[in-house]
Amino acid sequence: KAGVTQTPRYLIKTRGQQVTLSCSPISGHRSVSWYQQTPGQGLQFLFEYFSETQRNKGNFPGRFSGRQFSNSRSEMNVSTLELGDSALYLCASSGTGADYGYTFGSGTRLTVV
């Protein structure tokens, strides 16, 4: 069973630009959630999507947005990048029943210069 796939692995962007990150969940998983990890703030929840609907959102500014497609793949977008957005962005997919739990992808390392 293929794992959670995140692309790209590394990204360097300039302040003010925007960026889109992609996450393909484990086949059959309909829930995708996103997290930001920084040395100062640790792991923080961004948002969660289930069947193309955002069910839950963390405490991040509106510059952070996401969506989910009918095949459960999800994207997150950050507009007007700031230096403080430099982080490891992780997505997790979750199933139901015996498949319960959160499996994380390898992450996208975003550097804003």
Partner 1 sequence: ELKVEQNPLFLSMQEGKNYTIYCNYSTTSDRLYWYRQDPGKSLESLFVLLSNGAVKQEGRLMASLDTKARLSTLHITAAVHDLSATYFCAVDLRSQGNLIFGKGTKLSVKP
Binding interface with partner 1 (CB under 8 A):
31-33, 35, 42-45, 47-50, 55-56, 58, 90, 92, 94, 100-107
Q: How far is the CB of 56 from partner 1 (least distance, A)?
A: 4
Q: How far is the CB of 6 from partner 1 (least distance, A)?
A: 8
Q: How far is the CB of 7 from partner 1 (least distance, A)?
A: 13
Query: Peptide bond before 8: cis, by omega within 30 degrees of 0?
Result: yes
Rounded to whole angstroms, the Cα distance separating 104 from 75 reads 15
Nearest to 80 by CA among 19, 18, 20: 18
Question: First and final CA of the chain: distance in angstroms?
Answer: 37
Q: Which is nearer to partner 1, 10 or 83 (CB)?
A: 10
Rounded to whole angstroms, the Cα distance separating 5 from 92 reads 9
Q: Which is nearer to partner 1, 62 or 101 (CB)?
A: 101
Q: Which is nearer to partner 1, 57 or 63 (CB)?
A: 57
